[in-house]
Amino acid sequence: MAADVQGRHALIEVREVTKNFGPVTALDRLSFVVRPGLVTGFLGPNGAGKTTTMRVILGLDHPTAGTALVGGQRYQEITWPLHEVGSLLDANALHPGRRARAHLMSVAQSNGVGRRRVEEVLELTGLSTVADRRVRTYSLGMKQRLGIALALLGDPPVLVCDEPVSGLDAEGVVWARELFRSLAAQGRTVLVSSHLMSEMALTADHLVIIGRGRLLADTPIDRFVESNTRSDVLVRAPRAKELAELLRGRGASVRLETDGALAVTGLGSPQIGELAAEHGIALHELFSRHASLEQAYLDITADSVEYRAGRPAEPGKVT
């Protein structure tokens, strides 16, 4: 049905994809949909399967089971896919002896993209003046820009980028962030992976989080923030029980921490302090706590971290 094709034109659909590398299951029945008009942040710890997922979407790896569709088609079935999907997997993946312009030109030719567009993307990524240098002389940041230039060659409605800001300097990170946001604002589908929540918090509208090849979260970023970043006030007082009653009387909710401290939500530190003073209750500690987005992300992926650095043992603590 034509309407259906139109509706799915810029969707990325990952359906029940499993990918085994020998005995290792890299992706385990992973399903999610990436929609147009948004920057979708693809998050997960190292080894979670982000790159493998993108390689399956781009038809580079054959899934053991399941399918990945772009615009309703399997990637392998698309002719001249640069016009449908722009991608950047690894900015270092180019012949170091080739000049940047020739590199772009060779890829452009394979998809019927003209010389003028090559110059346009060089201009867009700020590489025009260095386009005739051999790529071996490029910094990682310049290679990232070249990779983004290549992804944009076909002016595609869908963009898939693996860690596109790693290696960029501060200015480059802001540039890339704004580029992705404006591409999404034009109605394109933008899937950008990162292992850093902090970066995605600034770039993404939607989050897909995976760990050990499984989907952990697929949610708009504001909802993720809302449901995962509780902030509360920690109160320590000798007359904790009495204070708790008073706080509840003011509509706050109070939870007793294991060490006897009160975790209060619904009232800020100033009001709590005032209330205690009114009733002559001494406070030993009054402390606003904010669980960061980063912390929420760490909590969600904690069970699925593949490689974890050992922590130095705490002295005198026997576990």
Sites of contact with other proteins (CB under 8 A):
5, 7, 9-10, 35-38, 55, 58-62, 75-85, 87, 89-90, 92-99, 102-103, 105-112, 150, 157, 184-188
Smallest gap, in angstroms, from Cβ of residue 185 to other proteins? 6
Q: Indicate the residue among 107 and 196 with the shorter CB distance to other proteins.
A: 107
Q: Indicate the residue among 108 and 252 with the shorter CB distance to other proteins.
A: 108
Smallest gap, in angstroms, from Cβ of residue 184 to other proteins? 7
**How do beta strands 214-220 and 24-34 pair?**
unpaired
Q: Indicate the residue among 91 and 300 with the shorter CB distance to other proteins.
A: 91
Smallest gap, in angstroms, from Cβ of residue 101 to other proteins? 9
Q: Indicate the residue among 30 and 94 with the shorter CB distance to other proteins.
A: 94
Smallest gap, in angstroms, from Cβ of residue 188 to other proteins? 7
- Identity of residue 59: G
Q: Indicate the residue among 182 and 231 with the shorter CB distance to other proteins.
A: 182
Smallest gap, in angstroms, from Cβ of residue 305 to other proteins? 25
| 153 class by beta-carbon count within 10 Å (0-12 exposed, 13-18 middle, 19+ buried) | buried
Q: Indicate the residue among 100 and 262 with the shorter CB distance to other proteins.
A: 100
* Cα 236 to Cα 258: distance, rounded to the nearest angstrom: 12
Q: Indicate the residue among 4 and 314 with the shorter CB distance to other proteins.
A: 4
Smallest gap, in angstroms, from Cβ of residue 131 to other proteins? 13
Smallest gap, in angstroms, from Cβ of residue 146 to other proteins? 11
Q: Indicate the residue among 192 and 276 with the shorter CB distance to other proteins.
A: 192
Q: What is the DSSP string of the chain?
A: -HHHHHHTTT-EEEEEEEEEETTEEEEEEEEEEE-TTSEEEEE--TTSSHHHHHHHHTTSS--SEEEEEETTEEGGG-SSGGGTEEEES-TT-S-TTSBHHHHHHHHHHHTT--HHHHHHHHHHTT-GGGTTSBGGG--HHHHHHHHHHHHHTT--SEEEEESTTTT--HHHHHHHHHHHHHHHHTT-EEEEEES-HHHHHHH-SEEEEEETTEEEEEEEHHHHHHHH--EEEEEE-TTHHHHHHHHHHTT-EEEE-TTS-EEEESS-HHHHHHHHHHTT---SEEEEEE--HHHHHHHHHGGG-SS-PPPPPPTT---
Smallest gap, in angstroms, from Cβ of residue 51 to other proteins? 11
